[in-house]
Amino acid sequence: MITTICQILFLGSPLLLVAVAQGICLKYDLLSRLKLPLDFGKTFHGKRIFGDHKTFRGFFINTAFCIIGAMIQAGMQIAGLIPPWLPLLDYVTGWPLLGPLLGIGMTAGELPNSFLKRQLEISPGKKGKGLWGLGFFLLDQVDLTIGIWVFIFLLVQPSPGLVAWSFILTILLHIIVSSVGFLLGMRKTIV
């Protein structure tokens, strides 16, 4: 179990770079030219497709910092700074594919959730009420993990246990990182 948790944490470590970069960009409104909505302001049944919070800036940051993170992982593997059991793939040869797939997967994983919320008229950052609220709270925590697994599944070929543990860890880490971001003034909501 500890081995699996460490492998998941190492695989997902580029996402910490993304969280920091996203927080800084949001706090200081950096890369504002890329703050264009992914849905180009289009609607579906009179309601925004994804809303203003899913932007090309977010997509760029997700992808760029996942690539940087994967390059760091490859460098660590080359330098022998990680034990041989830790990597779930060969980062030395796999980072050029892994980095972009992580970033694209993060972004793509959040879009269905945003679409559902816009169609149900739930504001960005809100969860809804009752069972919808609980469902959206859980989906908000794991949607990026779903997207990432879809995009890197063939590259990593995870076991069901590895996937299950990744969801548990994602929920815990998402809450912790979001709370820290809120306390530092980088987020408007705690989770």
- For the stretch 53-79, pLDDT in tens is 999 999 999 999 999 999 999 999 999
**How far apart, in Å, are the Cα atoms of 150 and each of 32, 102, 108, 168, 171?**
30, 10, 9, 17, 18
| Inter-helix orientation angle 2-12/14-28, to 10° | 40
What pLDDT is stored for residue 6 in this prediction? Answer: 96
The mean pLDDT of 154-163, rounded to a whole number, is: 94
Of residues 140, 143, 121, the one with CA closest to residue 189: 140
Q: Is the pLDDT of residue 190 over 80?
A: no
Longest alpha-carbon distance in the chain: 55
Q: What is the per-residue pLDDT for 94?
A: 96
Look over the chain and give the mean of its residue pLDDT values, rounded to a whole number. Answer: 93
Tokens encoding 140: 């908000």
In this structure, of 95-104, 127-136, 181-190, the range with the lowest mean pLDDT score is: 181-190
The pLDDT, as a whole number, for residue 147 is 97
d(CA 137, CA 98): 28
Helix residue spans in 13-129 (DSSP H): 14-28, 56-78, 91-119
Is the per-residue pLDDT at 156 higher than 80?
yes
User: What pLDDT score was predicted for residue 144?
Assistant: 94
**What is the pLDDT confidence band of residue 164, given thresholds at 50, 70 and 90?**
very high
Least confident among 19-28, 53-62, 63-72, 99-108? 19-28
Confidence grade of residue 45 (pLDDT, cut at 50, 70, 90)? very high
pLDDT class for 176, splitting at 50, 70, 90?
confident
For 126-153, what is each residue's pLDDT tens digit? 777 888 888 888 898 899 999 999 999 9
Backbone angles phi, psi at 123, to 5 degrees: -65, 150
pLDDT over 80 (residue 20): yes
pLDDT score recorded for residue 181: 78
pLDDT of residue 189 exceeding 80, the answer is no
